[in-house]
Amino acid sequence: MGEHTGYYVVRRQAVPEVLIKVVEAKKLLESGKVRTVNEAVEEQGISRSSFYKYKDDIYEFHDTLQGTTFTLTLQMNDEPGVLSDVLSIIADSGANILTIHQSIPINGVANLSVSLQVLNESASATDLAAAIERKRGVHKVQISGRGADIS
């Protein structure tokens, strides 16, 4: 048996309405149709507390032949070569970088957000995150913004 991931796939009809509205509110924010969380939750008829309680735990499942999309967020040292090493690991895995954003370093540590597309034959998201986290100068790696199953 495989390792327990803590994820379930359920039909939309089995998902509580509040969770569907959280997904819809996230879509409104991502699309730019609304500018604030207040506007998004008001349009969906849910509370801000419900939005914040569930926003990181519910994602719409995308079944696509183009692979799996997800975002890695990293904390890493602001030192020559660390970002280059991270990007090399991503390239070697066969993943495609869709977006990348690095914050201005504070106290020698930068935050990096990389949105990726992993094709079926390339490494899994969890393997990729683990490989990056083992790299010198990388403190923390989290997988977020899943577009599909990442195992």
41/89 same-domain check? no
pLDDT at site 123: 64
pLDDT at site 70: 86
pLDDT at site 65: 45
CA pair distance 6, 85, nearest whole angstrom: 30
82/49 same-domain check? no
Residue 62 placed within a domain: no
18/75 same-domain check? no
Residue 5 placed within a domain: no
- Per-residue pLDDT 10s for the chain (151 aa) are 455 556 777 888 899 999 999 999 999 998 889 999 999 999 999 999 999 999 988 887 654 445 678 899 999 999 999 999 999 999 998 888 999 999 999 999 999 999 988 876 556 788 888 999 999 999 999 987 655 443 4
pLDDT at site 74: 94
Tell me how many domains the chain contains: 2
pLDDT at site 127: 85
Q: How far is C-alpha 147 from the geometric centre of its chain's CA atoms? A: 8
pLDDT at site 72: 92
36/72 same-domain check? no
CA pair distance 135, 147, nearest whole angstrom: 25
23/85 same-domain check? no
CA pair distance 136, 12, nearest whole angstrom: 42
Is this model's pTM higher than 0.85 or not? no
CA pair distance 22, 54, nearest whole angstrom: 7
48/113 same-domain check? no
pLDDT at site 64: 47
139/79 same-domain check? yes
85/23 same-domain check? no
Q: How far is C-alpha 85 from the geometric centre of its chain's CA atoms? A: 20
122/97 same-domain check? yes
Could you list the residue range(s) of the whole structural domain that residue 125 is in? 68-144
**Domain holding 135: CATH number?**
3.30.70.260
